[in-house]
Chain A
Amino acid sequence: MNTAAGIAFQVLQSLLVVLAAPLLMGWVNQCRAWLQNRSAPPLLLPYYTLAKLFHKDAVLAHDASPLFRVTPYILFGCMWLAAGIVPVLATNLPFAPAADIVALVGVFALARVFSALAAMDIGTAFGGIGARREMLIGFLAEPAMLMTLFTAAFISGSTQLTTIVTTLAHREFAVYPSLAFAALAFLMVLLAENARIPIDNPATHLELTMVHEAMILEYSARHLALIEWAVAIKLFAYMTIGFAFFVPWGIAPAGHWAALPAAFVALAAKLAAAGAGLALLETLLAKLRLFLAPEFLSTAFLLGVLGMLIHFLVAG
Chain B
Amino acid sequence: MPDSALTGSLGVALAWLAIAALCLVPARAAWFARRLAFPLGAAAGLALAVLGVEAVWSPAEQMTLPLGMPDLPFHLRIDPLAGFFLLLLGSVAAGISVYAAGFFRAEPAGRLALTGLQYHLFLASMAFVVLADDAYLFMVAWETMALSSYFLVTTDHDKPAIRGAGFLYLLIAHLGAIAVLLCFGVMHGGQGDYRFDALREAQLTPAWATVAFLLAFFGFGAKAGMIPLHAWLPEAHPAAPSPVSALLSGVMIKTAIYGMVRVIYDLIGGVRWEWGLVVLVVAAGTTLFGVLFALMQHDLKRLLAYHSVENIGIILLGLGLSMVFIGFGHPAAGVLGLIAALYHTLNHAVFKGLLFLGAGSILHSAGLRDLNHMGGLIRPMPRTAFYFLIGALAISALPPLNGFVSEWLTFQAALQAPLLAHGVVRSLVPLFAAVLALAGALTAMCFVKVFGVAFLGQPREARAAAGHDAGSLERLGMAWLAAGCFVLGLFPAFVLLMLNRVGASLTGSGLSAEALESNWLWLVPTAPQQASYSPLIFLLVIVGVTLVTFFLVRRFYHGRVRYAAPWDCGYPEQNARMQDTADAFGQPIRHVFEPAFLMHRRLPRPDDAAPRFELKVEDRHWVWLYLPVARLAAYLSLKIGLLQRGRISTYLLYSFVTLIALLVFAR
Contact = CB atoms under 8 A, between A and B. Distances in A.
B456 A120 contact: yes
A207 B569 contact: yes
B290 to A, nearest CB: 15
A143 B438 contact: yes
A294 B565 CA distance: 35
Given A138-B441, A138-B445, A81 B427 contact: no
A132 B546 contact: no
Interface residues of B, number: 84
A142 B565 contact: no
Interface stretch (A103-111, A180-188, A262-270): A103-111
B538 A73 contact: no
Nearest to B427: A312
A124 interface: yes
A286 interface: no
Contact of A123 (B375, B393, B430): B375
A190 to B, nearest CB: 17
Interface string B568-604: 1100001010111000110111011000000000000
B533 A98 contact: yes
Interface stretch (B8-16, B31-39, B124-132, B522-530): B522-530
Contact of B423 (A65, A106, A109, A312): A312
Contact of B376 (A63, A163, A226): A63
Given A63-B379, A78-B542, A73 B444 contact: no
Interface string A221-250: 010001000000000000000000000000
Contact of A59 (B444, B542, B557, B562): B562
B437 A159 contact: no
B178 interface: no
B434 A312 contact: no
B367 interface: no
B444 A123 contact: no
Contact of A128 (B404, B441, B553, B579): B579
A3 to B, nearest CB: 15
User: Does more than half of chain B's interface fall in helix, strand or loop, or is it mixed?
Assistant: helix
Given A57-B560, A61-B563, A218-B567, A158 B529 contact: yes
B457 A121 contact: yes
Interface string B404-418: 100010011001011
A160 B532 contact: yes
A102 B411 CA distance: 8
B418 A154 contact: yes
Contact of A136 (B445, B453, B522, B574): B445
A146 B435 CA distance: 11
B426 interface: yes
A238 to B, nearest CB: 17
A171 interface: no
A312 B426 contact: yes
A143 B546 contact: no
Contacts of B457: 120-123, 127-128
A139 B562 contact: no
A126 B569 contact: yes
Contacts of B568: 124
B399 A294 contact: no
B585 A132 contact: yes
B529 A139 contact: no
A55 B579 CA distance: 32
A143 B435 CA distance: 8
Nearest to A64: B563
A146 B431 CA distance: 11
Contacts of B376: 63, 123
A244 to B, nearest CB: 16
Nearest to A79: B545
A272 B532 CA distance: 32
A9 interface: no
A315 B584 CA distance: 46
B27 to A, nearest CB: 45
B452 A139 contact: no
A117 B580 CA distance: 12
A142 B445 CA distance: 12
B362 interface: no
Nearest to B537: A98
Contacts of B160: none
A62 B564 contact: yes
A129 to B, nearest CB: 7
B152 to A, nearest CB: 34
A159 B530 CA distance: 6
Contacts of B448: 113, 116-117, 120, 131, 135
A16 B437 CA distance: 31
Interface in A149-167: 150, 153-154, 157-160, 162-163
Contact of B433 (A126, A128, A135, A150): A150
A131 B592 contact: no
B322 interface: no
A95 interface: yes
Interface in B435-459: 437-438, 440-442, 444-445, 447-449, 451-453, 456-458
Interface in A37-75: 54-55, 57-63, 65, 67, 70, 73-74
Contacts of A99: 399, 533-534, 538
Contacts of B481: none
B541 to A, nearest CB: 5
Contact of A100 (B451, B531, B550, B585): B531
B123 to A, nearest CB: 34
A173 interface: no
Interface in B161-194: none
Interface string B532-564: 111001100111111001100100111011111
A99 B538 CA distance: 7
B541 A84 contact: yes
B486 to A, nearest CB: 15
Given A97-B532, A117-B448, A163-B530, A77 B427 contact: no
Contact of B542 (A57, A65, A77, A217): A77
Task: Across the A-B interface, give the 6 residue pairs with the lowest CB-CB distance, nearest first.
Answer: A128-B580, A123-B457, A120-B452, A139-B441, A123-B458, A143-B437
22 contacts: A60-B562, A61-B565, A62-B563, A73-B549, A74-B546, A77-B549, A97-B528, A100-B533, A103-B404, A106-B397, A106-B399, A109-B440, A113-B398, A123-B376, A132-B588, A146-B433, A147-B434, A158-B530, A159-B412, A159-B415, A312-B417, A312-B418
